[in-house]
Structure 1
């Protein structure tokens, strides 16, 4: 089999024992050797407690617990079991539902890691490439959360080569939460990338900017919400962020205006937008910000592919809008315990993304909207992403979210929630020159903050309840 994440950790522990792999601001760090040794002890402790090959183990940790979480995750893999990462911010009922769905036999939390003296070399189970390694639950913003199952081959794809990613940096900073696909990507970076991976227990714009300044981070990853908050708070002028050479945005579309403002706030940095999903990883597209293509999410990277197709998977020509499908460069994932749902999303290595989009003649991908977010207003279909892009152009808007709400005559009407000081009358006049009549918001509300799930994504179902 190819290099698994556990094998990669062993290699780095042997070659770079004292090198820091993972840091939590104000809460310590973890070297490769300590990571290997401590996870060995957890694996031995799990086996001592009767954990069997393929058992699902819930890992319930908070963002201040990244070090213990990293140790627990690799301890589970080394024991031949399946890691189920879960945020401690989940409501008790939601947590119980996920644990019951995957049939977890044990739950690990901070300060509760079982340890034992490891057996002699070779005493731990050796998983096969196709063995299940991880179940990661989707955010559930468009429906019931699903458990996405990934094998060791899937998680280990692309790691272990001679050139380690982000070689320009000694430190990579992020604030992605545990229990998300972006968070798992950062965990893999801590094992396989060149820089030490740095995070913090709780994100605030000022705290995050000071962390970047103090550690001279050369690479920074965030979600668009965090970028918006950094810019709105002026954190980029209150801290020295000149060390940043790459600023990556992931997990949600990056509005064109925000991308342009980031280029000014981080003048030495390349701004990169990453597009993937929990289901599609490690397939992804990457877009280095280009003022000529401000709304594109880029072209395929990491050995994957993208096509626009019908619901049945039949390819459509460039320029035509259809469903976005991505092809995994390795063994694809599937929905755990849900063959029917898997069959509609995972087909012959291709993954149905649930987004509508188009490809231009050069192969650049443009998202039109989430399929579930398209507003079918009368005879028209309205892209909420297009509406949001227009609203973001107003200087008084800090954040914006467009969504559909019931309407007696139209069936569904466009609603927009904004954060910021924009006057509603002025904003409506502003939008008249930027949106078609059927795209104009029937409802416009101002909120102190947009509702979000634990992964940082806007909860549009909660917004609909506000308008009702």
Structure 2
């Protein structure tokens, strides 16, 4: 029988392969499945002794070096019948406090050396404080339909929203047969996703369900990532586009052996086509795969093996999910017509926690609004045009910022690029680009000239601002509200902004 709760998955894996390594944090330690189960039950006793009851929300505040303690605390919370609320440790204390207040967390379990904002009646503890001496297994108090976690969105387009997922949602598609587990080609699955992100939570479920041990550095740097690939002969590697770009620009793939990687997956946002091509060249033995989903839609996703003939495609629905593109009145559009992208999960759907208004907008009859505009090609592959809020209405034209960014990435001296709309007295809005160069000497004039042969006149940025780095959130997504402030305060003596 397939377990339909997260603690059930842990119990199964610990029974099947107790001494198998589940998680490796480079330079910090390892965790076997037997240790994971034993420590989680001990910590669950500590939670119950402190009065935690089914349905209580427990904040989890951990950094990358504490993935092992986080995994223990996550399962302990659910064994106690409570709801895990991972909160990114990189957030400002006031934002951490806001998220914990929104979900009504009664306690916070935290990593080493982290300061937890004062929450009045809320108590705090480290996993070691909870484990104590009690070793008897806890009789798990959860079922498939119970709320398992609340995960907050990155908030790139507004205030972060708490997305609730049941145990049935999180365990959908998990494999119980050892010879059928995912990524059997690998002994190690390497990633550097932050705790508290949807990508990070996916990796935690992979640690429970997949064949390889989950390997992660305490913190991402290109050099550390490359050394881990070579040292562990990692067969599966996951990145977000920002990491991929930084890694490629560092040249570390030329200094270390990348031949062990046979699957390189990218998640969180779409890879620019030129970056996909560079990844394919940097990892010659790897299949490069783009995954498209959202915190709200998971486990629904599209999967696309990089295809030079379809460089911008994001694939078709996987694992029984569904995909559609709709017009203004909700009608399903034919191929190549641009509209709103919706996905339907084959699992129990997620929902926003304590936000019925937002639920009505984003979740309808099992379908989830992705917040993106796109179209399907004749073969049913999804192509993104832009985020709904990022499309620029310039005069009589609607402009895709994604397409202009992709054109900028074709320039050999562009390390990173972001495009957005800025006010214009005549056209209402025009494009501006913010670029991080690979080396000094790249000018806005040069970049605009480069784009003239690649984009239409109405897609050409009026300004190009050269900066040292792009502001990104914990998921690696560019924060365009910060870019607008940079453009507002930058020197405006010429149209290039340089």
TM-score normalised by the chain length of structure 2: 0.92
* Alpha carbons of structure 1 residues 312 and 342: separation in structure 2 relative to 1, 3 Å: farther
Q: What residue number does 2:117 align with?
A: none
Q: What residue number does 2:274 align with?
A: 257
Asked whether the equivalents of residues 345 and 352 of structure 1 are also in contact (C-alpha less than 8 Å), the reply is: yes
Asked whether the equivalents of residues 2 and 157 of structure 1 are also in contact (C-alpha less than 8 Å), the reply is: no
Residues 1:448 and 2:486 are matched in the alignment? no
Q: What residue number does 2:60 align with?
A: 59
Asked whether the equivalents of residues 48 and 116 of structure 1 are also in contact (C-alpha less than 8 Å), the reply is: no
* Residues 180-217 of structure 1: per-residue CA shift (max 9 Å, x gap): 00000000000000000000111110111001111110
1:91 and 1:175 map into 2 onto residues whose CA distance is 21
Q: 156-165 or 112-121: which moved more?
A: 112-121
Describe the SS at the equivalent of 1:354: strand
1:81 and 1:433 map into 2 onto residues whose CA distance is 57
Shift of 1:119: 7.2
1:147 and 1:378 map into 2 onto residues whose CA distance is 37
2:169 and 2:328 map into 1 onto residues whose CA distance is 25
Shift of 1:423: 2.6
* Residues 392-420 of structure 1: per-residue CA shift (max 9 Å, x gap): 11111111110111222121110101111
TM-score normalised by the chain length of structure 1: 0.98
Alignment of 1:89-108 (within 5 A): 89-108=90-109
Find 2:131's aligned residue among 111, 115, 127. 115
Q: 127-136 or 47-56: which moved more?
A: 127-136
Shift of 1:19: 0.4
Q: What residue number does 2:139 align with?
A: 124
Shift of 1:2: 5.0
Deviation beyond 6 Å, 4+ runs, structure 1: none
Residues 1:199 and 2:219 are matched in the alignment? no
Asked whether the equivalents of residues 235 and 261 of structure 2 are also in contact (C-alpha less than 8 Å), the reply is: yes
Q: What residue number does 1:337 align with?
A: 354
* Alpha carbons of structure 1 residues 158 and 182: separation in structure 2 relative to 1, 3 Å: same
Aligned residues: 467
Shift of 1:83: 0.3
Q: What residue number does 2:415 align with?
A: 398
Q: 399-408 or 24-33: which moved more?
A: 399-408
**Alpha carbon RMSD of aligned pairs, Å?**
1.2
Residues 1:140 and 2:155 are matched in the alignment? yes
Shift of 1:6: 1.3
Shift of 1:137: 0.2
Find 1:425's aligned residue among 436, 445, 452. 445
Asked whether the equivalents of residues 78 and 126 of structure 1 are also in contact (C-alpha less than 8 Å), the reply is: yes
Alignment of 1:25-104 (within 5 A): 25-104=26-105
Alignment of 1:207-246 (within 5 A): 207-246=224-263
Asked whether the equivalents of residues 41 and 116 of structure 1 are also in contact (C-alpha less than 8 Å), the reply is: yes
2:139 and 2:97 map into 1 onto residues whose CA distance is 30
Describe the SS at the equivalent of 2:111: coil
Describe the SS at the equivalent of 1:252: coil
Q: What residue number does 1:152 align with?
A: 167
* Residues 211-248 of structure 1: per-residue CA shift (max 9 Å, x gap): 11111100000011111111111000111111000000
Asked whether the equivalents of residues 44 and 117 of structure 1 are also in contact (C-alpha less than 8 Å), the reply is: no
Q: Which runs of 5+ in 2 are unaligned?
A: 113-125, 489-498
Find 2:376's aligned residue among 346, 349, 359. 359
Asked whether the equivalents of residues 375 and 414 of structure 1 are also in contact (C-alpha less than 8 Å), the reply is: yes
1:262 and 1:160 map into 2 onto residues whose CA distance is 29
Shift of 1:131: 0.8
Q: What residue number does 1:439 align with?
A: 459
* Alpha carbons of structure 1 residues 33 and 161: separation in structure 2 relative to 1, 3 Å: closer
Asked whether the equivalents of residues 173 and 220 of structure 1 are also in contact (C-alpha less than 8 Å), the reply is: yes
Asked whether the equivalents of residues 444 and 463 of structure 2 are also in contact (C-alpha less than 8 Å), the reply is: no
Find 1:377's aligned residue among 394, 405, 414. 394
Shift of 1:49: 0.3
Asked whether the equivalents of residues 375 and 385 of structure 2 are also in contact (C-alpha less than 8 Å), the reply is: yes
Shift of 1:302: 2.0
Shift of 1:312: 4.9
Describe the SS at the equivalent of 2:131: coil
Asked whether the equivalents of residues 7 and 140 of structure 2 are also in contact (C-alpha less than 8 Å), the reply is: no
1:119 and 1:311 map into 2 onto residues whose CA distance is 58
